[in-house]
């Protein structure tokens, strides 16, 4: 197991691969996998808490290794019970999710499948007197919070003032954030169920623990790292860690990367492909090489010590909980070679 394998597949890439006669009709072959994704969407649309247990049985592998990585610090759910709790919170408090199930990109190797797709999260904010009273209460609380520095207090106040500038004449604001969803599914008898899901939202600013820099967020940040460290079902191996360390030095740590260096880490015969940090798609050795050589502003350090992994057959999927200063995460699939 010494190569990065295929991670994602999008519509443009699928068409290109069809031209090269590299794949067959994935839409027909992966009908059952797409059904699972649609059921996942249905659950998030209905948000019926009375049906959450039946939803979990239909959608997820019942295992201590089942996991979800959410969009914020502290949203690392390890084990089926924590996954259930996270989904329950999503249904209660998160915005309206819309996932593109029809155009989901699916790849499969025996009884393991990985899927990625785009979507959105919609929030509606109403400008009410109650909301502005809450803003004032928030500012007063922060001003009198002895655990905050003067700079942190001013930052909070500026943040609240910025929110008030978004007021609309109609008294209601609707926001639509782009959402990414990727995951790994396993065949469970005659059904495909999720073993791992990752939600992602592109960020234009610093993560909570850096922007707010308060005890609440730094504690959450540290708790998540400790949780990953103590996860007893983590299947990351010294071999994978060494591969990631080598990848950090050879690919992320230098300029003028050669194709030969890319081939050292990506399975050439499997048509490898990656998604960049701004949702760009690159497939094949040449384009992957192009991506890493032009990403001079992509300053990344892999947080290998807080990585988690799970294995099924010849496939291992690994998640870096955070990387670098912008709380980027990296999901990788390894194929044993």
For the chain, domain boundaries: 11-127+167-335
CATH 3.10.450.50, domain 11-127+167-335, yes or no: yes
Most confident of 37-41, 149-153, 209-213, 272-276: 37-41
Burial group, residue 270, by CB count within 10 angstroms (0-12, 13-18, 19+): middle
Q: How far apart are the first and last CA of the chain?
A: 5
pLDDT tens for each residue of 95-128: 999 999 998 888 888 899 989 888 999 988 777 8
pLDDT band at 14 (very low <50, low <70, confident <90, very high): low
Most confident of 93-102, 287-296, 321-330: 93-102
- How far is CA 159 from each of CA 134, 142, 209, 229, 334, rounded to the nearest angstrom? 14, 12, 15, 33, 42
What mean pLDDT is reported for the chain? Answer: 81
Residues 6+ apart with CB under 8 A from 21: none
Computed over its alpha carbons, how large is the radius of gyration of the chain?
Answer: 21
Encoded tokens for 313: 């057959």
pLDDT tens for each residue of 18-68: 444 344 445 556 899 999 999 999 999 999 999 999 999 999 999 999 999
With CA atoms as reference, report the closest residue to 287 among 272, 267, 302: 272
pTM for the structure as a whole: 0.79
**DSSP3 helix / strand / coil % (the chain, rounded to 5):** 45, 25, 30
């Amino acid at each position: 197991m010494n190569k990065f394998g295929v991670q994602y597949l999008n519509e443009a890439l699928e068409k290109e691969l069809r031209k090269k006669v590299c794949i067959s009709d994935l839409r027909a072959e992966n009908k059952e996998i797409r059904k699972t994704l649609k059921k996942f969407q249905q659950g998030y649309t209905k948000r019926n808490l009375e049906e959450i247990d039946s939803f979990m049985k239909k959608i997820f592998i019942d295992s201590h290794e089942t996991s979800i990585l959410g969009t914020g610090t502290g949203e690392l759910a390890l084990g089926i019970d924590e996954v259930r709790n996270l989904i329950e919170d999503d249904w209660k408090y998160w915005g309206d999710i819309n996932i593109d199930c029809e155009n989901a990109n699916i790849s499969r190797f025996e009884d393991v499948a990985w899927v990625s797709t785009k979507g959105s999260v919609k929030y509606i904010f109403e400008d009410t007197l109650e909301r502005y009273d809450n803003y004032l209460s928030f500012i007063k609380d922060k001003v009198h919070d002895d655990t905050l520095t003067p700079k942190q207090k001013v930052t909070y106040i500026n943040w609240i003032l910025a929110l008030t500038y978004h007021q609309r004449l109609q008294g209601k604001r609707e926001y639509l954030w782009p959402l990414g969803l990727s995951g790994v599914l396993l065949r469970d008898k005659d059904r495909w169920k999720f073993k791992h899901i990752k939600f992602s939202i592109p960020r234009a600013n610093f993560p909570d623990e850096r922007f707010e820099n308060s005890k609440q967020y730094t504690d959450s940040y540290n708790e998540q790292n400790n949780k990953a460290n103590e996860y007893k079902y983590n299947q990351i191996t010294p071999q994978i860690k060494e591969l990631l360390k080598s990848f950090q030095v050879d690919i992320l740590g230098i300029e003028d990367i050669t194709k030969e260096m890319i081939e050292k880490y990506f399975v050439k015969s499997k048509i490898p492909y990656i998604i960049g940090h701004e949702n760009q798609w690159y497939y094949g050795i040449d384009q992957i090489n192009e991506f890493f050589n032009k990403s001079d502003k992509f300053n990344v350090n892999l947080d290998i010590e807080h990585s988690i992994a799970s294995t099924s057959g010849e496939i291992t999927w690994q998640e870096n909980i955070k990387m670098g200063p912008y709380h980027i995460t990296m999901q990788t699939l390894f194929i044993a070679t």
